[in-house]
Structure 1
Amino acid sequence: MSDTFLFYPANCTVEPVVGRIEDVEEEVVSNAVKVYRRWLISRVHGSENFAIRLFRIEKGGMSPPDSHKWEHGVVILSGSGVVTLNGREYEVKPGTFLFIPPGTEHSFRQTGEDDLVFICIIPGYAVPPGK
């Protein structure tokens, strides 16, 4: 068992969180083109083991190739796009899900008329301070 996970005791004092996406501030992803992110669930909410983020890529937008030491889980909610994983392109649309293993080079590109919107889940240890 990895010591990177936090298991809450039976007398856990972290409170449940219920929110609405539109109430979460959307930030510009600085190293990308027309890509925006909302931290829906993360450390600031008391979650130590994972974070859920909502990404929105506007028409013509894309994220540059990137890789990390952690895995990602992605679910496409709306729009269409192309995800490149280790140089191989995959068309994505609502209902598509992806598992991106650690070390996999990945990028997202919006195609079509509507914004590409997706949920991305990462482990808690990958969350930057203050998020």
Structure 2
Amino acid sequence: MYVSNVKDIKSTTVNAPGVKNALKQVLIGPEQGWEGWVMRHFTLGASGNSPKHSHPWPHINYIVSGEGILFLDGNEHNLGPGSVAYVPGGTEHQFRNNGTADFAFICIVPEEGDV
């Protein structure tokens, strides 16, 4: 069993090519007993973004706060609190903060996708 609060979970700066102003928290994964999957919380600050990329694993997203855009397979989708998205494996995608407040979202991936 595992219980915590996002405020108490360590945040790390994402340093990767194409990433701007992004923080990551691993909320639940194998270390907490959820084998094979990882639930992460990302925060993109003002003008922040993930890289435009694709990978073989899918991911499931839930928008917690802020306003942003999901570039998915050539189309842009406006996202806000309560928005959900499924990104199939092998699909080019990017999350971008298009507001001034933090854009925060949950991202669930198979364990091999938590890189």
Pick the TM interval, shorter chain.
over 0.9
Q: Is the 8 A contact 1:71 1:102 kept in 2?
A: yes
Cα distance in 1, alignment partners of residues 50 and 60 from structure 2: 16
The question of 1:56 aligning with 2:48 is answered no
The number of equivalent residue pairs is 113
Q: Deviations over 1:55-95 (max 9, x none)?
A: 00000111111111111000001100111011211111111
Give secondary structure in 2 for the equivalent of 1:64.
coil
- 1:9-48 alignment to 2 at 5 Å? 16-31=1-16, 32-48=19-35
**Alignment-derived partner of residue 84 in structure 2:** 97
Q: 2:98 & 2:45 partners in 1: Cα distance?
A: 9
Structure 2 residue ranges without an equivalent (≥5): none
User: What residue identity is the alignment partner of 2:76?
Assistant: E
Aligned residue identity for 1:63 = S
Identity among equivalent positions (%) equals 35
Q: For 2:9, give the aligned amino acid.
A: V
- Which residue of structure 1 aligns with residue 101 of structure 2? 114
Question: After the TM superposition, which segments of 4 or more aligned residues of structure 1 sit over 2 Å from their partners?
Answer: 124-128
CA contact (8 A) 1:43 1:127 kept: no
Q: Distance in 1 between matches of 2:77 and 2:104?
A: 16
**Shift of residue 127, structure 1, vs aligned partner:** 3.3
Give the unaligned 5+ runs of structure 1. Answer: 1-15
Q: Distance in 2 between matches of 1:90 and 1:24?
A: 29
**Structure 2 counterpart of 1:91, which letter?**
N
Contact 2:20 2:50 in 1 (8 A): yes
- For residue 121 of structure 1, what is the amino acid of its counterpart? I
Larger Rg: 1
- State the alpha-carbon separation in 1 of the partners of residues 22 and 97 from structure 2: 9
Partner of 1:69: 56
